[in-house]
Amino acid sequence: MKSIITGGGGFIGSHLAERLVKLNHKVVIIDNFSIGRLKNLKNIKDKVQIINKDIKNEKNISKYFKGADNVFHLAALADIVPSIENPKLYFETNVKGTLNVLNCSIENKVKRFIYIASSSCYGIPKKYPTPETSDILPQYPYALTKRMGEELVLHYANVYNLNSTSLRFFNVYGPRARTSGTYGAVFGVFLAQKFSGNPLTVVGDGKQTRDFTYVSDVVDAIIATFKNKKIKGEIFNVGSGKTISINKIVNLLNGKKIHIPKRPGEPDSTFADISKIKKKIGWKPKINIETGINNLLEDISIWKDAPIWSPKTIKKATKKWFYYLKK
């Protein structure tokens, strides 16, 4: 069985690739490695085909879809600030790139298509826990373009009968989370700060809560959804179904903290309603936050070369965030 993973060199994609190899899939990874890293694939590099191509160019990737049975579409540009600074690039990658992957899939009669969406499409939700039927209120271009990609996937399911499903991930964490690049996910920032002996930069009062989901759990969700061939054209939340405050995360990391200003456009909570995926797919998370954090701390040295963010550098990096999103 041939399976294509776009973005397979990334954080989640590399874990998915390892799982599919164990399931005896013939895995083809398409990744331009602008975010992903070859070292993420070191355990399986001789067992997968790695194609260094960009999904923005359909002609460059189309031939690799020949004979493909399944497509797992994870390739995307992430991060809030860069999307505000360069929305055109995000549109070209997350929307047009998704269109290219869909066209290649249709032309080659792909049997199963899994799209990895983002819970950021909910913006600042009106309801907690947040169900899939909640209003779509994206606050910045990254969230908007991921939602637009999702709309394309659902449209292709309806018009072209593509057997596709969209999974809206909440706050995913775990080994191989990105350690370089722009200011971003809380665990990447905190672990680099802790390893270097610096205080952890807590946004606002730290009472805001997040639904953190361990990477092995989200891979389980992808596989369970993939195996359910009867589910087509639907959306599922993927989260822990629980929340934890940022202050509690700091305590679990046993770190010192320093507070920085609260950012506009961010919800006070992310909290997935996962009742639908539990009922229809039979998936539920296994790794609790304490176990997940212990796993990260056991291998904290991987953050030794990560950028160390300070209040001053964060203020500079998020300047446009405050400028454009402040109401």
142 flagged as catalytic: yes
Query: Can you give the length of the chain in residues?
Result: 327
| E strand or H helix that includes residue 173 | strand 171-173
| Alpha-carbon distances, residue 153 vs 133, 146, 169, 239 (angstroms) | 17, 11, 16, 21
Residue with tokens 């456009």: 265
Report the candidate in 233, 324, 217, 317 with the shortest Cα–Cα distance to residue 280.
233
Q: CA–CA distance from 160 to each of 28, 96, 97 (Å)?
A: 24, 18, 18
Closest Cα partner for 74 from 133, 153, 139, 136? 153
The continuous run of DSSP H or E covering 212 comes out as strand 212-214
User: 209-210 and 244-245: which strand pairing?
Assistant: antiparallel
Which is the catalytic residue, given 90, 142, 156, 183?
A: 142
Label the pairing between strands 49-51 and 209-210.
unpaired
DSSP sequence for 70-101: EEEE------HHHHHH-HHHHIIIIIIHHHHH
Q: Quick one: the chain helix, strand, coil %, rounded to 5?
A: 45, 15, 40
Residue 176 β-bridge partners: none
Task: For 228-257, give the secondary structure using H, E and C.
Answer: CCCCCCEEEEECCCCCEEHHHHHHHHCCCE
Show which residues are catalytic: 142
